[in-house]
Amino acid sequence: MVECTRQTVRALREAVARSGNEVEIGAHMARLAGDVIARTEFDTSYETGKRIFLLIEELQRLTARSSRYLWVPGSQYFPSKYRREIKRLNGELEWLLKESIDRSREIADEGRTPSASPCGRGLLGMLLAEMEKKEAGGNGGGEVGYDAQMMIDECKTFFFAGHETSALLLTWAIMLLATHPAWQDKARAEVAAVCGGGAPSPDSLPKLAVLQMVINETLRLYPPATLLPRMAFEDIELGGGDGGGALRVPSGASVWIPVLAIHHDEGAWGRDAHEFRPDRFAPGRPRPPAGAFLPFAAGPRNCVGQAYAMVEAKVALAMLLSSFRFAISDEYRHAPVNVLTLRPRHGVPVRLLPLPPPRP
């Protein structure tokens, strides 16, 4: 993560020197998040995973468009241009992912991996190694036993969750810091005091309290997932206390949790619920009401990559704050659009003022 962010800082400095100090920060954050997930998942570079990212982005767009017909009974049985294109793109995506999985298994078979994991250093290698271990323990044969489709689906999940949502978290955080310079100065001063001019370390990350507050408030205002789909596996009743009527949810019913609405609920967050107030999450302050803060969902099915995302955000923002001062561009138009995730419709152009490289 540190090395990927260093490359992003260099790219931003070059962009400023070449074209002036105004850049569309979202594109750079997408590349950074893509590079991180490609290296940590597949041990590959961003360029190798670029086609996968583009396919997932297009599938996301088409899925969002076709979802308007979900409420029409029987719509899933009717052909449409969206459905045909989704099938074509998904076929290409699964073929690319299967190639990556097969390559990891070949590396393991040939013993060419330079790491302790027999299938590679990335997440994919760890998953394959764990399956190999379980299979060897089960029958003693040492054969890698795995469900290919399950592995492909897991790779899709980690690529999407690790790329799109992390890029948007960083983009929205920079937008908020650029429009709230006092908080930007506080976060930068903390990074300088804690990290001493160097890159964040595992020991320093927990000490970045102001940066954690900024990240949490960004996740509250612009959550990665605006809706959380769930299904009831048994009949349940909600509410009904204090003489109120209970809401019965039958088994098999779909339940959609409106995260964006909950995060902006004045009953939970106060009359300033729509304002950027990182001090809501200050150490020592009362925690948000149960169920009021759901950026990574909650319970046994919460986001498995929560810790990963928080570490990535802290590392990237700390290094960017040490390298640049941000100001929002006059061209910025605030227009969040919900396409499964909450995106800035017109991008986030910011003005970057390069700072002297920090001394280690």
- On whether 155 is known to bind a ligand per the annotation, the reply is no
Alpha-carbon span 76 to 110, nearest angstrom: 45
Q: Are 348 and 26 in contact (CB under 8 A)?
A: yes
Which residues neighbour 360 within 8 Å (Cβ) at sequence distance 6 or greater?
A: 196, 197, 198
Active site residue 165: yes
Nearest CA among 268, 160, 187 for reference residue 220? 268
Dist. CA 230–CA 257, nearest whole Å = 8
Q: CB–CB of 218/277 below 8 Å?
A: no
- The one catalytic residue in 296, 324, 326, 341 is 296
Catalytic (active site) residue 296: yes
Point out the catalytic residue in the list 5, 8, 165, 171: 165
Which residue among 48, 113, 276, 303 is the active-site one?
303
Cβ–Cβ < 8 Å for 98, 121: no
Which is it for strands 349-354 and 22-24: parallel, antiparallel or unpaired? antiparallel
Has 179 been annotated as catalytic?
no
Question: Tokens 């190999």 label which residue?
Answer: 132
Residues 6 or more apart whose Cβ sits within 8 Å of residue 63: 86, 340
- Residues labelled catalytic: 165, 296, 303
Binding residues, by number, are 303
Known binding-site positions for heme: 303
